[in-house]
Structure 1
Amino acid sequence: MSEEKINLTLILQGCQRGSRNSQRKLYEHFYGYAMNVCLRYSKNREEAVEILNDAFLKVFTKLDQYDPDYPFRAWLRSILVHAAIDYYRKNHKHPAHLELTALTDVAKEEPAMPRISPDEDMIPVLQQLTPVYRMVFTLFVIEGYKHHEIAQMLDISVSTSRSNLLRAKEKLRSILEKGRNRSTKSN
């Protein structure tokens, strides 16, 4: 076993015993990773911190459900994503459902989008999207959920999920093109 795994195991055991010191160590160790995930779902850093703190509270209360045979980071990510969804539901009681007027087969109409990596450079761009667009885009493109799963999580229809993804991609393309135009004008 690696030293990091042994330390993580000891920290997790301490957390299960309610050790504040172990909880602090776990929080500090995964803070950067967790914040990066939360920033993709939030409009700003303050919102991300709120999601992150809610998620860590869930981690500490549900740690007995963690299976040590699986990577802790994957389990943590799942909790972070669900905390972001819970935050979205709580704070966006009337989501921006789109009019679905001539959106028959949105999947066929989706314009090509450059591959987006979930790196920190993309976070400010994602934060310019509306909450519903950001949520659907992040769940679909970055997390890999299917439209029927997103629809169920967000309590929207599959076609609304598809149309929100389409609109999010269009908005992102517009934002990225404006950024490129600004950089070419300044050269």
Structure 2
Amino acid sequence: MTNANQDIDSLLKLCKEGSRNAQFEVYNRYYKPMYNTAFRIVKDSHWAEDIMQESFMKAFTKLDTFKGEVTFGAWLKKIVVNHSLDNYKKINKNALESLDSVLYKVEDESSNEDAALDFQQLKAQQVGAAIQSLKENYRIALTLFFIEGYDHEEISEIMGITSGNCRTTISRAKESLLKKLNA
């Protein structure tokens, strides 16, 4: 076991004993990636912040269910993903947010050195916009697959669909994304 794993294990033990300092340390180690995970799903910074906070609270109260079969980060990420999807489905049944609230703004830079970076950011924004414009189940499936790194089996469990349906959904989502990018 690595030092990092031993360290997180000792922190988790202290968390189970109610140590606020240990909880704060665990929070500081994981809040950025968990926020990013929630943000990619719900597409709203304030909402993602709330989901992340609630997910940490849930994780700390459910630490006894953490068996160590996966890393703590993977276990926490699953809580964040599930909580994000649940909230997204509740609030956004028919609402579509403007893409402007999702995309990061690229500042105008006049130097040639920054031109290549700006172009890459612009391309990334175009891909992001294309993903965000997909229908909900395609967007969520591609986000979980490409960005979050889940496999088909995990995605089918998270989305509540069969493994075969998951593979079909991801395949169709990829085709739809390619069509949007080539348009």
TM-score range (shorter-chain normalised) is 0.5 to 0.7
Query: Which residue does 1:59 correspond to in 2?
Result: 59
Q: Output the TM-score relative to the length of structure 2.
A: 0.61
Runs of 4+ in 1 over 3 A off after TM superposition: 92-96, 121-133, 139-142, 152-156, 158-165
Separation in 2, partners of 1:80, 1:19: 22
Residue type matched to 2:142 in 1? F
Q: Which residue of 1 aligns with 2:108?
A: none
- After TM superposition, give the deviation of residue 162 of structure 1 in Å: 4.4
2:172 corresponds to which of 162, 166, 171: 166
Gaps of 5+ in 1: 97-120, 179-187
The structure 2 residue matched to 1:136, chosen from 134, 141, 149, is 141
Please report the TM-score for the alignment, with normalisation by the length of structure 1.
Answer: 0.60
Mapped partners of 1:18, 1:148: distance in 2: 33
Query: Pick from 141, 149, 155: which aligns with 2:156?
Result: 149
Cα-Cα RMSD: 3.8
- Deviation of 1:77 after TM superposition, in Å, equals 2.0
- For 2:179 and 2:50, the matched residues in 1 are separated by 29
After superposition, residues 1-187 of structure 1 pair within 5 angstroms as: 1-68=1-68, 70-93=70-93, 124-125=128-129, 126-129=131-134, 131-141=136-146, 142-146=149-153, 149=156, 153=159, 162=168, 166=172, 169-171=175-177, 174-175=180-181, 177=182
Q: Is the 8 A contact 2:37 2:80 kept in 1?
A: yes
| Contact preservation (8 Å) 1:35, 1:52 | yes
Alpha-carbon distance change, 148 to 37 in structure 1, aligned in 2, over 3 angstroms: closer
- Per the TM alignment, residue 27 of structure 1 is displaced from its structure 2 partner at its CA by 0.8
Alpha-carbon separation, structure 2, partners of 1:25 and 1:39:
22
Q: Which amino acid aligns with 1:62?
A: K
Residue ranges of structure 2 left out of the alignment (5+ in a row): 97-123
